[in-house]
Amino acid sequence: MKKQRAPTGFAELPILEALPPEIRPAPLAVGTEGHRARLRARFLAGGADALADHELIEMTLFLALPRRDTKPIARALLARFGSYANAISAPVSELLSVEGLGEAGVSALKLVQAACQRLAKAEVLYRPVLGNWDRLMEYLQAILAREKVEQFRVLYLDNRNRLLADVPQGSGTVNHTPVYPREVVKRALELNATAMILVHNHPSGDPSPSDDDISMTREIKRAATSLSVVLHDHVIVGNGRWLSFRKAGLL
């Protein structure tokens, strides 16, 4: 059964009364400020699950656009990009084309994306990544799953398989990124890394490896092995999906 949300106003009083008096909005507040106060109260009482996607976007834009009605902008973003996650991950150029958003609004959305990525990275940095594989995949999905062009990154690990650095090696087109094995291995030596994991995304959403992906991985493995650097894996990230070369028997 679909959950029904009470309309904004007096029906929300039980939720609002659960809040401390200092953050409880006046029940008769009207207009934009009343709407914002009730959204904030509902969020503080019930967390993100208490709000729909367009309401989360509205709240994200409150501070950036203090004198604007952010509801139409939020609905326009959802209509164009389909979800909250897609909206905050959209390219800046596309966001700027949404009427009423402007640089301040775009900055607010991209700040949320940056915060999500920073939090995800904190869960894997300086920790043994092979024992925290699910967290690692969450991080890689956060930074790569919705990118519009291919990006190639290398995760460099120490002798305990803890993540030392996540280094972008380059970006390319929708289906190709130039990769130079010598540069990949050279960076490992500079970081005193003893192992690494290759990562790149497929903007199509399909993580199946191409022939070029397979041959490039083998080249890097040969170069790394000659210098006693272990290549643990190559992960291809799609949208909500990923493929491990090692688990697929390709490494």
Tens-digit pLDDT profile for residues 103-119: 999 999 999 988 888 88
- The predicted pLDDT at position 4 comes to 46
What is the arithmetic mean of pLDDT over 59-69?
88
Q: Of the candidates 153, 193, 191, which has an alpha carbon nearest to the alpha carbon of residue 171? A: 153
Three-state SS at 171: strand
Tens-digit pLDDT profile for residues 124-155: 777 788 888 988 998 898 889 888 889 999 99
pTM above 0.85, yes or no: no
Tens-digit pLDDT profile for residues 185-209: 999 999 999 999 999 999 998 999 9
* pLDDT-based confidence at residue 234 (cuts at 50, 70, 90): very high
Domain ranges of the chain: 10-118, 126-244
Q: Of the candidates 208, 221, 192, 218, which has an alpha carbon nearest to the alpha carbon of residue 248? A: 208
Q: Are 167 and 186 in contact (CB under 8 A)?
A: no
State the fold for domain 126-244: Cytidine Deaminase; domain 2 (3.40.140)
- The predicted pLDDT at position 67 comes to 84
Q: Are 40 and 59 in contact (CB under 8 A)?
A: yes
- The values of phi and psi at residue 39, to 5°, are -65, -45
